[in-house]
Amino acid sequence: MEDFVSWQYSKLGIFTVKSSYHLEWDHQHGRKLRRTATHDTSNSPIWKILWSLNVPAKIKIHCWRSLLGAIPCFGVLANRNMQNFSQCPICQVDCESIGHVFFKCQRAKQIWEHLGLAPAIAAACDLESEGVVALGSLLLQPQEKAPMLPDVLRNDLIATAIWAKKKGSVGIERHGWQKSKEDFVKLNVDAAYDVDTRGGGTCAIIREDRGFFVAAAKCQFQFVEDAATAEAIALQDGLALVESVGCN
């Protein structure tokens, strides 16, 4: 077998944007989280603490997304070139980063002060400027230093409430399915794409104007270049489903 250049951070040895994001996140945040652990281990206890919480799954997922920097704050969206402004829409003072939303915005500070957690929050934010690291260090905070943290912060309920209130303040809405015009059917398609394996799947569903099910299909694909091509394949599969049931 001939020698070839291999990227050690992906399963197939091929460089991907996804693997580079994971590597950069670990470099910026993961190592700092591991240094806050009480035991010297290569795996941060933050994840074990998070997934063992006796709280609804949506709370755990929200905290998990926060730690991964995957909350769609204006600052995050601007960094990914998804919009051209990053100012907090509530206080209009600073860039709306994850740390700003949950810890530094005046609205968030009022909540933490009311709960008596302002000193613990301020100490965590002084140690690290990144919001995800501050959240991680607070979750790992010994109970004797902040007795209320296990009941409040470790459940991430307050952070969820802050984010929900923020969404309401700026008018972020959830978009659901909308019915088609009378005597028409509606086709919805989607694709799942794995950049490491270059494969995935598509799904399609047809519903009539009252929302009742007409037909559905799913397909798999391999050796696809990118997510945009996967979405195009999903549309093609959806049109094939439309033709197969006689819709036009």
Name the pTM for this structure.
Answer: 0.46
pLDDT band at 38 (very low <50, low <70, confident <90, very high): very low
Can you list the pairs that 122-130 forms with residues at least 24 positions away whose Cβ atoms lie under 8 Å?
A: 125/99, 128/32, 129/99, 130/28, 130/29, 130/32, 130/99
pLDDT 10s digits, 216-246:
999 999 888 888 899 999 999 999 999 999 8
- Residues sharing a CB contact under 8 Å with residue 150, sequence separation 6 or more, in sequence order: 143
pLDDT 10s digits, 10-20:
777 888 877 77
Report the interhelical angle of 118-127 vs 106-114 (nearest 10°): 130
pLDDT band at 148 (very low <50, low <70, confident <90, very high): very low
Mean pLDDT of 116-120: 77
pLDDT 10s digits, 70-109:
778 888 788 777 777 888 888 888 888 888 888 888 888 8
